[in-house]
Structure 1
């Protein structure tokens, strides 16, 4: 993700590990225009060079499996290849799952508009529907 991306939300999420015990690990997160960055919360103070796991919207399929339990929101980010990544966050304010889902929809809509515009321009160029000069 480029450093020019606007930060839409910043805060903490808990991500379930892939290991045998599937422990919840706290992550500092940045939601940007093109995806979600996950930093280890212990090492990520103000160091912008800290290594981040990137979940880009272009590789995300959906955000689902929302459950509310004891003040927490549990949700799953499903990647295009079928990989599922489980998260949980506090229920207060606007939960992360809603912010991520809305940003994903915004990203996919922008891609669809750009794709439609490209197809439309290609169609105009191939059919010769340019303005003919008056004789």
Structure 2
């Protein structure tokens, strides 16, 4: 299966919707269509959807350090994706959707595979 907007084919793990906090002064929550694959989380505006060239943003797992700051309130689970350059991106989802767990598990799987590859490669640190 091909991940929308991805440079290379990647297996889609899950598709759905998250809310992302904007970087603007008012920090409004904006709905995003999301596609979780084995190597990235792709975000699209709901209007553009997953259409090719839909102006999406791809967060590759190689640039993500961790999923952090998980907090559950009555209706939502709030979590932060921390990038390797220390940028924080805030998300929320309905509590029953467990998006934070899906992203965390995919990230751990990616990091484990990368660690094994690094270990097996002759020039490993």
The TM-score normalised by the length of structure 1 is: 0.83
Matched, 1:66 2:66: no
Alignment partner, residue 86 of structure 2: 82
Q: What is the CA-CA distance between 1:15 and the residue it aligns to?
A: 0.1
Find the aligned partners of 1:34 and 1:17 in 2 and give their Cα distance: 24
List runs of 5+ in structure 2 lacking aligned partners.
1-5
Q: Max radius of gyration: which structure?
A: 1
**Is 2:71–2:77's contact at 8 Å kept on the other side of the alignment?**
yes
The TM-score normalised by the length of structure 2 is: 0.89
Out of 74, 99, 110, which is 1:96 matched to?
99
Paired residues, what number?
119
SS of the residue corresponding to residue 5 of structure 1 reads coil
Moved over 6 A (4+): none
Q: What is the CA-CA distance between 1:92 and the residue it aligns to?
A: 1.2
**Cα-Cα RMSD:** 1.5
List runs of 5+ in structure 1 lacking aligned partners.
124-135
Q: How does 1:1-135 map to 2 (within 5 A)?
A: 1-44=6-49, 47-93=51-97, 95-119=98-122
Q: What is the CA-CA distance between 1:103 and the residue it aligns to?
A: 0.5
